[in-house]
């Protein structure tokens, strides 16, 4: 996987205000149906990881995994982030393809 590609697209989505970060806010977006994709750091705690994945499974939101919380945070120009949600279908679709490239 090309880190740079998904990271720059995520940065773009963030500048377009289509990225929500932080566990509680992401869970809220999933519940409301606004989250089109969730990106979870592989180094998230088991508890957080399970909670987010269970919610995504229940609400049928796709999940992809970033290598580390640092990379995820860096992509959106913030401190380390464990989980982010994408609230726009176009960005979500493109990001999925970049993760599975």
Cβ-contact 75, 82 below 8 angstroms: no
pTM for the predicted model, two decimal places: 0.95
Mean of the pLDDT values across residues 59-66?
97
DSSP tag of 35: -
4, 8, 22, 43, 47 from 55: Cα distances, Å: 28, 27, 14, 18, 12
Q: Of 101, 91, 77, nearest to 39 (Cα)?
A: 91
DSSP state letters, 57-86: HHHT--EEEES-HHHHHHHTTSS--SEEEE
Enumerate domains of the chain plus CATH numbers.
Answer: 3-99 (3.30.1330.30)
Mean of the pLDDT values across residues 51-59?
98
Q: Between 100 and 96, where is the model more confident?
A: 96
């Amino acid at each position: 996987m090309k880190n740079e590609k998904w990271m720059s697209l995520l940065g773009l989505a963030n500048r377009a205000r289509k990225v929500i970060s932080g566990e509680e806010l992401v869970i809220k977006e999933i519940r409301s149906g606004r989250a089109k994709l969730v990106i979870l750091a592989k180094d998230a705690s088991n508890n957080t990881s399970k909670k987010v994945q269970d919610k995504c499974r229940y609400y049928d939101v796709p999940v992809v995994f970033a290598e580390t919380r640092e990379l995820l945070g860096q992509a959106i120009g913030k401190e380390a982030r464990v989980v982010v949600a994408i609230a726009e279908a176009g960005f979500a679709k493109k990001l999925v393809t970049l993760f599975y490239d």
